[in-house]
Structure 1
């Protein structure tokens, strides 16, 4: 039986289970980051890790709830929150890197710009969620790949494996969008979710080693 959002019941179950796993992993990872920030005793670490952890959990909990509920009116509201949370996750992932690693390379200034972009994206999502999907995906990707402008300082300041993980995470998110738009493929959205979990895991490992 097909649901109104073109996902079968089985597909929706796979959708909320895949990001439910992401929610559990991100919650555990947040605890690890707070533990490290406590021992480092640096307010920049605490601020960066806290913002990142909250944003990461937000994207997984909103996605899990969106795919879990079946009532159309509630599902529509959760869809908007789910899409807005993607902007939070992108900006949140940048936050500790810009505040800690790139603090003396213009990171905080770029972070302000990035959060303004994220807030503008969220405002637009409240009006246009469900429309202009390809343009929306392009905006997520453009925002995510802005990190390329810091490639040189990142190359100098983080271990080579960290840089590779950073790029791999972006690559996984980007490749995953193929499945996000592949509506005719059964369980394609769940595959997209797996790419998101893998991409966020790569970025978490980078941030954990800051």
Structure 2
């Protein structure tokens, strides 16, 4: 269905070639800012809650790592989309924030796995993933620095690989509680990719992608709280 020929066409720009970045309409700019900006305060409060629920230093450190990654994702995304909307004529500034936005995603993925890799018992080989995920994040960020927006499919494959590979390691956990919820959250991330690649085809496609990210992150946060930090999990 071609939305451009419907009443929704005014909410979206036309599709652009792969070599160029999609430029949202005013409506889409506002939606892109709001769909992640609304989660900044909840992510900070939620991260703080995990910190205060920690009953040892390692849990507290892990809560800080996870919270920093979660909050940074929403903060940097909102900052970039705001700059792109209101200060898009400052190309170098916008480009810098766009690169930071893309880099933060890698560290967000690593931070999302940190509670499970740090606080659950894993096999000898799987336990090495605790530091491997951060090396992957650094490599991904370096790739963005040198090849930002140059090979979009490669970049998407990098994100997907980093999101899936550590999940396979979690299958070695002796305690499998939470795996189902983690899978559901991962499903929302994967489904959201469809909209991430639909800019110019579906109205508010990028904002919809943001919503899928927020839902996936919310499910994963709930799972981390329930199985790793809540009073019931500590007593089990």
Structure of higher CA gyration radius: 2
Q: Equivalent residues in 2 for 1:1-210 (5 A)? A: 5-37=22-54, 40=55, 42-69=56-83, 70-71=86-87, 72-102=91-121, 105-106=124-125, 108-154=127-173, 156-159=174-177, 162-184=178-200, 185-209=202-226, 210=228
**3-state secondary structure, aligned to 1:157:** coil
Distance 2:121 2:154 in 1: 30
- Higher relative contact order, chain-length normalized (CA < 8 Å, sep 6+): 2
1 or 2, which has the higher helix percentage? Answer: 1
RMSD: 1.8
**Residues in 2 aligned to 1:50 and 1:75: alpha-carbon distance in whole angstroms:** 29
Q: Is the 8 A contact 1:99 1:107 kept in 2?
A: no
Structure 2 length-normalised TM: 0.80
Offset of residue 149 of structure 1: 2.6
Pair 100,106 (structure 1): closer, same or farther in 2 beyond 3 Å: farther
Equivalent-residue separation in structure 1 for 2:22 and 2:92 (angstroms): 12
Cα distance in 1, alignment partners of residues 30 and 103 from structure 2? 22
CA distance in 1, matches of 2:123, 2:166: 16
Question: Separation in 2 of the partners of 1:23 and 1:7?
Answer: 22
Q: TM-score, normalised by structure 1?
A: 0.90
Matched-pair contact (CA < 8 Å) for 1:165–1:202: yes
Q: Following TM superposition, by how much is the alpha carbon of 1:46 offset from its aligned partner in structure 2, in angstroms?
A: 0.9
Q: Extract unaligned runs of 5+ from structure 2.
A: 1-9, 14-20, 229-236
User: Runs in 1 of length 4+ with deviation above 2 angstroms?
Assistant: 70-73, 102-108, 147-154
Alignment gaps of 5+ in structure 1:
none
Distance apart, 1:172 and its partner CA: 0.7
